Amino acid sequence: MANARSLLEAEPIVTGNTKAAVKAAGGGSSDLWTVPPDQIHYDPRDNVRPLDQNRVRHLAELMKANGYDRKKPLGCFVRKVDGQDRIFVYEGQHRYHAALLAIREGGFAKDKEIDRLPVVIDEAKSVNRVNLIYAGITNNDGEKLTPLQLAEKVVELQEFGESNATIGKRLNITDQTIRDVLLLANAPLTLQELVRNKVVSSTLAIEEIRAHGGEKALERLRTAAEQAKAGGKARVTRKALAKRASSSIVAPQAKQLLQALQSVLHDPVFGKLSPGTIAGVHAALTPYADLLDAVPARRHRHPVHVPNENGVFVKCETIRAPMTKRTGLSPAEIHLAQPEEGRWIFSTTLRVGNGTTSGLPSMRDFTSTYPTRMQAVRAAVSDFTRALDRADRTRAKEAPAVRAWLDRLSTMPDPDWTENMVTEVAK
Rounded Cα distance between 335 and 66, Å, is 71
For residue 209, give the amino acid letter.
I
Beta bridge partners of 200: 236
Rounded Cα distance between 182 and 415, Å, is 37
The mean pLDDT of 372-386, rounded to a whole number, is 88
Residue 297 pLDDT = 44
The mean pLDDT of 309-328, rounded to a whole number, is 85
The mean pLDDT of 242-266, rounded to a whole number, is 65
- Above 60 in pLDDT, residue 228? yes
Return the higher-pLDDT residue of 136 and 338. 338
Rounded Cα distance between 272 and 278, Å, is 9
Contact 421, 302 (CB under 8 A): no
Contact 400, 351 (CB under 8 A): no
- Above 60 in pLDDT, residue 65? yes
The mean pLDDT of 59-64, rounded to a whole number, is 90
- Above 80 in pLDDT, residue 261? no
- Above 90 in pLDDT, residue 119? yes
**Closest by Cα among 128, 143, 24, 130 to 93:** 143
Residue 252 pLDDT = 62
**CA 52 distance to own-chain centroid:** 24
Return the higher-pLDDT residue of 246 and 379. 379
Q: For the segment 15-61, what is each residue's pLDDT rounded down to a tens digit?
A: 788 778 878 887 765 568 899 999 999 988 888 878 889 889 999 99
Alpha helices in 231-274, H assignment, sequence order: 238-247, 251-266
Q: Provide the terminal-to-terminal Cα distance of the chain, rounded to the nearest Å.
A: 52
Contact 414, 300 (CB under 8 A): no
Phi/psi of residue 340, nearest 5 degrees: -135, 155
Contact 305, 345 (CB under 8 A): no
**What does DSSP assign to residue 245?**
H
The mean pLDDT of 326-331, rounded to a whole number, is 80
Contact 114, 67 (CB under 8 A): yes
pLDDT above 70 as % of the chain: 82
Using a 10 angstrom Cβ sphere, with 0-12 exposed, 13-18 middle and 19 or more buried, the burial of residue 109 is exposed
The mean pLDDT of 326-333, rounded to a whole number, is 83
- Above 60 in pLDDT, residue 427? no
Band the pLDDT of 338: cuts 50, 70, 90: very high
The mean pLDDT of 311-332, rounded to a whole number, is 86
Parallel/antiparallel/unpaired status of strands 74-81 and 117-121: parallel
Residue 68 pLDDT = 92
Out of 125-129, 135-139, 303-307, 397-401, pick the least confident.
Answer: 135-139
Among 38-42, 128-132, 382-386, 391-395, top mean pLDDT goes to: 38-42
Return the higher-pLDDT residue of 36 and 239. 36
Rounded Cα distance between 352 and 398, Å, is 6
Rounded Cα distance between 70 and 51, Å, is 21
Residue 334 pLDDT = 93
Residue 272 pLDDT = 65
Residue 265 pLDDT = 67
Beta bridge partners of 42: 89
- Above 60 in pLDDT, residue 293? no
- Above 60 in pLDDT, residue 250? no
Rounded Cα distance between 394 and 403, Å, is 10
Q: Where are the domains of the chain?
A: 4-144, 187-247, 251-291, 317-426
**Closest by Cα among 158, 201, 210 to 183:** 210
SS3 call for 312:
strand
Phi/psi of residue 111, nearest 5 degrees: 65, 20
Detail the DSSP E strand segments found in 171-304: none
Out of 140-149, 266-275, 343-352, pick the least confident.
Answer: 266-275
SS3 call for 33:
strand
Residue 133 pLDDT = 82
Q: With b meaning 16 or more CB within 10 Å and e meaning fewer, what string describes 351-379?
A: bbbeeeeeebbbeebbeebbbbbbbbbbb
Q: Strand 74-81: give its sheet, edge to edge.
A: 33-35, 117-121, 74-81, 84-91, 40-42
Q: For the segment 73-101, what is each residue's pLDDT rounded down to a tens digit?
A: 998 999 998 889 999 998 888 999 999 99
SS3 call for 23:
helix
Q: Which residues, at least 6 apart from 400, have a Cβ–Cβ distance to it below 8 Å?
A: 186, 187, 213, 214, 215
Beta bridge partners of 318: 335
Q: For the segment 165-223, what is each residue's pLDDT rounded down to a tens digit?
A: 888 888 878 888 888 888 888 888 889 899 888 899 888 888 888 888 888 888 888 88
**Closest by Cα among 153, 200, 162, 141 to 181:** 153
Out of 86-95, 240-249, 320-329, 359-368, pick the least confident.
Answer: 240-249
User: What is the pLDDT of the chain when averaged over all its residues?
Assistant: 80
Contact 5, 159 (CB under 8 A): yes
The mean pLDDT of 122-133, rounded to a whole number, is 82
